[in-house]
Amino acid sequence: MMLKQSAKIEGLQPEILLALIIANDVYHMHGSRLVMTEGTGGQHMIGSRHGQGQAVDLRTSNLNESDKSVIVAELKANLGLEYDVIFEGAGTPNEHYHIEFDPKD
């Protein structure tokens, strides 16, 4: 796993660290290296869990186009219902996977 140089990691919660470990395994199974592009920093949508350390963004530009939908499905399956996994900006230069810990009560 790699971190984008500008990515902020201070305050990431244990649930997100676990998600990163699982995501790293999924990327590795597809022959790719996981790159976390943002943690607790950056500009995000209202209601985002990034500032609470409960969300991260992952690079997708290093993935084969044919693997992107498979990987997002595998992330969802491996992380379970307490996590949201969203493929944001698909097909744009800013596309990425957004993972957040969002337990459903």
pLDDT of residue 83: 97
Q: How many whole angstroms from its chain centre is CA 61?
A: 13
Beta-ladder partners of 96: 59, 88
Q: What is the pLDDT of residue 26?
A: 98
What interhelical angle do 68-79 and 14-29 show, nearest 10?
140
Give the pLDDT of residue 73. 97
Domain count, the chain: 1
0.85 cut: is pTM over it? yes
Tens-level pLDDT at each residue, the chain (105 residues)? 999 999 999 999 999 999 999 999 999 999 999 999 999 987 777 778 988 999 999 999 999 999 999 999 999 999 999 999 999 988 898 999 999 999 887
| Confidence at residue 43, expressed as pLDDT on a 0 to 100 scale | 76
The token pair that represents 88 in the structure block:
């944001």
The confidence score (pLDDT) of residue 16 equals 97
Sign of the dihedral through C-alpha 75, 1, 39, 37: negative
Residue reference for tokens 């379970």: 80
Sheet with 55-59, strands from edge to edge, namely: 2-3, 35-38, 55-59, 96-101, 83-88
Print the domain residue range for 54.
Answer: 2-101
Residue 45 maps to which CATH number? 3.30.1380.10
pLDDT at site 5: 93
Residue-level pLDDT at 46:
75
Bridge-based pairing of strands 2-3 and 35-38 is: parallel
